[in-house]
Structure formats: structure tokens, C-alpha cells
Amino acid sequence: MEGILNNLSLVTYNCRSYKSSMPDVQKLLNDCQIIFLQKTWLAKQQLENLSCLGVSHFAFGRADYDFNDGLVFGRSHGGTAIYWSKNLKASSFSNCDGSIIGLRVFLKKSELCLINVYLPYCSRANTDEFLAYLGKMKQLCEELQCPNICFVGDFNAGATNTFGGLLEEFCMDNDLIISDYALLPQDTFTYISDAHNTTSWIDHFVSSFSVHQAMFNMDVLTECILSDHRAVAVSIQCSHLPEFDDEVMEHQPRRIDWLKVTAQEREDYYHESKNLLDQLQLPTEVRHCQNFNCTDENHLEEIKNLYAELTSALLAAASSAIKTTGKKNEGNFNIPGWNSVVKSKHQIAKAAFRLWVNCCRPKTGGIYRNMANTKKDFK
């Protein structure tokens, strides 16, 4: 499939309880190749329920709580999940909690990194936590070393709240674009408050330049109504993504000299790898297959996918727990058009944005207009 894959259809949906929104999720599975869910409200022991709907999709999820931790007070909270078509060559990965998980889609001569995020609710008390997650996103960009990257999900950051400004500043500093701001009408909303009967735009696609240029047909899906959020869908034209050099495609993960690993790093690696491996879901059909000479294509694909998840989890644990030595692999990919078309506009927009921030973010006047106009030129 990797050789003939032309377009990818993606959708993000804060489902506000996976169990309550299963009809909506089923609709999305029928129409899209990759689905990103936030606020699933599933415990660790319930993650296997994700595979009940995805007959044609693989599923991967993370939970924010464990029934074994004791009595859970109040309603369930948090949790993220990803479904991806079994026709795709891809592998999932995650960080240390349930708020950021990702999917690496392997194309013929390229790679696409899609990262599902569910960030804290906008309030003064959550500002430090929100900034910490932006830091994790930046770290992921550095670790993945992939020019085709897109953060997808519920950022709880809109143009009218404090977190929205922080997100825009983060994007300017890291050469990212809030693609939905550029591709959807200005009166778009993705969230409806049941309590206050107000709307806001807090679900986003935050993309690298190459992914943004490949996006088309972005839309808010009004037919998904079982949550207080609306699903947002987009397609990506894979042929528009920059190809990697053969040297990059054959790049292998760094080797670890275990003789030089400290006792503390070994301990950290043990706990981190255990945490990630505990989250993996064993394929139900394969687990119950009694045929020692099984040639079922679905079983073989599930085994292959499980192997990819196992290696991905172990590599992620090593990357997190053991210090990297040597220089990172840089300069191996080229984003067509960045230097000649976008770089100068980005530098001008970044300078104007920082001036606007330093002047306490005025809503009118020359500084505001300059920031808005240069930002528009960049987009």
C-alpha cells in the first residue's frame, strides 16, 4: 500500500466519553483512515474496548488512571486514542502519560508523524502545566527529526483566551502553522459550552510547513453531535510531502552502550519501558488463534504491527531515560520552497509577533495591524 498511497483522510474528535460517543466514532471509522480521539474517559483496564469498533482499523490508546490505584472519585477524566486503517504501514508511540500519543505513517520515500494531544483546560492555575506540555511537544519535534509533523487534537487554546496566545507564540518559535486558522472560515467554532451556551475554536491541526502545504478539504463535521466538541477532518496529499534521501530512510536508531549506562538510567529505563509496554494491547484474534501454521493475512499484519509497537515503546523508553550522545542527525531533508518562499516572511512575522507580545498584546493600533498583516502574509 505504501507505494500507491495518494491521500490520507484524518479527523480529530474530543468525544467526551468513548462509550457515550460510540455511534459517532463508528461513523468516523467508516469515512476516515486515521481518527484521533481525546477525552475517552477510559481506564487502563478498559483500553481493549477500543478494538470493538475498529474491524478495519488498528487501535491504540492511553489512559490517565488505573483502577488498581484505588477508588476513583468523581467522573472519569482524560485519555487519548488513535485508530488507523489496517492498509497503512504505521506504528504508534506515546510519552509518559495519556495526553500525548502519536502515529508514524511510513510512505514510499517519506514519513509522516501525527501526534494526538489533549492539553489542559485554560485557566491561570493550569498555565505552568500547559507550558510544560508545549515543552514536551518541542522535545518530540527534536527527537523525531521529521520535517512532516502535525499535532492534532484539543489544545484548549483559542484566539480569545490566554492559552491561544501561548500556542501562537510556540508555533512562531518552532516554525509551525495552525493550519485550521488558515484553511477554515474565521467564524468557525469547534466547541459548544452546555453551561454557558457559548462557542469557541480550541481544536486544531498544528503543522510543519510541508504538511500544511499538502492539506486540503478541511471541514468541521456537524453530524457528530454526541459530544460538546465538533469533529474536524482534513485530507493530506502524500505526493506533496518532501521525500527523504535514501541515507535518511535507511537510518537506524542509535545504539546504546549499556556498559556506560548509569544505574539510575537503568532504573529509569526499567520503569519507563514497563509503563509503555503495559499500555500495549495484544491482538485478541491472534491471542486465541490455535493454528500453528496460520497464514491469515489479518493475523500476520497484527503480529507485525505489535512488533512495531514493541520496538517503538522500547526505543521511546531508551530515548527518555538514557542521555543521547553525539550530534543529532540534521540537515538530511529539504522542504521545497521554504528558503525561497517562506523563510523571510516567517522571520518578519516572528519579529512583529514578539513586538506585539512585548507591548502587552494591543487589540488595535499600528503594532497590532503590523502583527496581523505579517502573520497573514506568512500563512
What pLDDT digit, counting tens, does each position of 266-322 carry? 888 888 788 778 767 777 777 888 887 788 888 888 888 888 778 877 877 787 678
Query: Distance between CA atoms of 72 and 55, rounded to whole angstroms?
Result: 31
C-alpha to C-alpha distances, 303 to 3, 104, 286, nearest whole angstrom: 22, 17, 8
- Closest-CA residue to 36 (of 134, 91, 102, 93): 102
**pLDDT at residue 148 in the model:** 95
3-state secondary structure 181-213: HHHCCCCCCCEECCCCCCEECCEEEEEEHHHHH
Tell me the average pLDDT of the chain: 84
**pLDDT at residue 325 in the model:** 47
Q: Are 8 and 33 in contact (CB under 8 A)?
A: yes
**pLDDT at residue 339 in the model:** 58
Query: Distance between CA atoms of 8 and 104, rounded to whole angstroms?
Result: 13
Asked if pLDDT for residue 214 goes beyond 70, the answer is: yes
Supply the pTM of this predicted model: 0.71
Asked if pLDDT for residue 55 goes beyond 60, the answer is: yes
Query: Distance between CA atoms of 50 and 52, rounded to whole angstroms?
Result: 5
Asked if pLDDT for residue 168 goes beyond 80, the answer is: yes
- Closest-CA residue to 212 (of 172, 179, 171, 167): 179
* Sequence spans of domains, the chain: 7-248, 255-321, 338-378
pLDDT > 70: what percent of the chain? 84
**pLDDT at residue 284 in the model:** 78
Q: Which cell numbers in the block locate residue 210? A: 510541508
Asked if pLDDT for residue 53 goes beyond 90, the answer is: no
DSSP label at 342? I
pLDDT in tens, 327-337: 444 444 555 55
**pLDDT at residue 210 in the model:** 93
Mean per-residue pLDDT, 147-175: 94
Query: Distance between CA atoms of 187 and 9, rounded to whole angstroms?
Result: 24
Asked if pLDDT for residue 113 goes beyond 90, the answer is: yes
**pLDDT at residue 98 in the model:** 76
**pLDDT at residue 340 in the model:** 59
Q: Are 133 and 36 in contact (CB under 8 A)?
A: no
> What architecture is the 7-248 domain classified under in CATH?
4-Layer Sandwich (3.60)
Query: Distance between CA atoms of 212 and 52, rounded to whole angstroms?
Result: 33
**pLDDT at residue 328 in the model:** 43
Structure confidence at residue 3 as a pLDDT band (50, 70, 90): very low
Q: Maximum Cα–Cα distance for the chain, whole Å? A: 74
Q: Radius of gyration over alpha carbons of the chain, in Å?
A: 21
What is the phi/psi pair of residue 182, to 5°?
Answer: -85, -25
